[in-house]
Structure 1
Amino acid sequence: MNPIVTAVALSQAHTFTKAVAPAITLLEGLGVEGDAHMGVTVKHRSRVRADPTQPNLRQVHLIHGELHDELLQAGFNVAEGTMGENITTRGIDLLGLPRGARLHIGETAIVEITGLRNPCAQLDHYQKGLTAAVLGRNPDGSLIRRAGVMGIVLAGGQVCAGDAIRVDLPPAPHMPLERV
């Protein structure tokens, strides 16, 4: 399957879930137009409390729809936008991308992957056990975060369900994704 966008979502307020929309507009250097997390500096409340001047490396949140499939089979009530993502994808291993990978989405938008979403307690407030369901452990004991990836907008444009995604990898050596 060629990588595609299956849904887009946004929320003007700091809510856990985001409403699915027909389209979203990505703004260069800012994020999703009209979304509470849009901006040059960090907008996630816990990070604002720590240092409101830090750059916003979390302008766009992407989740692979295959994770939704897995969680549904495990009995969780999830769908596009449920876990706060702006873009839901299919056919692309988001978690396997290196830092700096660029996703060309639709006609003009480019999102550069900055790191992994760090699952938070809000997942369990939505549905008990959801946090644990998106975490795992590597054989060495290190934490595996599976709740999607975060990125910044390098080039703006409209994004909607059905848009193709093309991946450009950064020059080697590739840096693995870490939480941002």
Structure 2
Amino acid sequence: MTVTEPSTAAPSPSRPAAGRVVSVHASGDHGFSKPSVDRIVLLEGVGVEGDAHAGVTVQHRSRVAADPSQPNLRQVHLIHGELLDQLRAAGHDVAPGGLGENVTTRGIDLLGLPVGARLTVGDAVVTVTGLRNPCQQINDFQPGLLKRLVRRGDDGEVERLAGVMGIVSRGGTVRPGDAIDVALPPPPHLPLTRV
């Protein structure tokens, strides 16, 4: 993975992209999966235009019920396409958008990024806030899938594999095939936790 220290410079041939967008997804409904679309528009501080989870404050139903004034740290959901490959190899038929992500990527270790990593995706910037916390809805989607997305590592710690969440730091349009450039925040780098 190619990463750079924080910069305001646009990606260029001297700063190669770390990965690519495989597909993009949005839905105005609070369903589980999101259909593929030809592009999404990210709105600064809000999320994906027209998506049910867009908003300055939390939009996920369980979080709204707990405290609707919480800031929305889950404006954009990204999943690495390599995870979908692993799930298919294990017998689960999960297509891009099937797990409710807005952006399916390839070539980026999303789970290895630190809090505050900035992803330039198309002409937008998403700042990574944390890990998606998979819930029972995943087993409702496909029985047995949850244990593939939440497990215990060799050190006994819980590993959450269902992608990362972020906020829109600069609005713009994102399309399949767009390059993704990663800029790390200043050290110390904090590991991602669930948001």
Same fold at TM > 0.5: yes
Shift of 1:84: 0.2
User: Which stretches in structure 2 are left out of the alignment for 5+ residues?
Assistant: 2-17
Where 2:96 maps in the other structure, the secondary structure is coil
**Aligned residue type for 2:154:** P
Which residue, 77, 89, 93 being the options, matches 2:105?
89
Match of 2:94 in 1: 78
Where 1:173 maps in the other structure, the secondary structure is coil
Structure 1: how far apart are the matches of 2:48 and 2:155? 37
Structure 2: how far apart are the matches of 1:139 and 1:147? 18
Match of 2:173 in 1: 158
Structure 1: how far apart are the matches of 2:93 and 2:59? 27
Which residue, 79, 82, 85 being the options, matches 1:69?
85
Match of 2:144 in 1: 129
Shift of 1:141: 1.4
User: Which stretches in structure 1 are left out of the alignment for 5+ residues?
Assistant: none
Which residue, 14, 30, 34 being the options, matches 1:14?
30
Aligned residues: 179
Match of 1:116 in 2: 131
Q: Percent of pairs identical after alignment?
A: 63
Match of 1:44 in 2: 60
Where 1:14 maps in the other structure, the secondary structure is coil
Structure 2: how far apart are the matches of 1:101 and 1:126? 30
Shift of 1:60: 0.2
Shift of 1:136: 1.7
Where 1:69 maps in the other structure, the secondary structure is helix
Structure-to-structure mapping, 1:161-172, within 5 angstroms: 161-172=176-187
**Normalising to structure 1: TM-score of the pair?**
0.98
**Aligned residue type for 1:129:** G
**Aligned residue type for 2:79:** I
**Normalising to structure 2: TM-score of the pair?**
0.90
Where 2:97 maps in the other structure, the secondary structure is coil
Q: Which runs of 4+ in 1 moved over 2 A?
A: none
**Aligned residue type for 1:4:** R
Shift of 1:77: 1.0
Structure 1: how far apart are the matches of 2:116 and 2:161? 18
Match of 1:175 in 2: 190
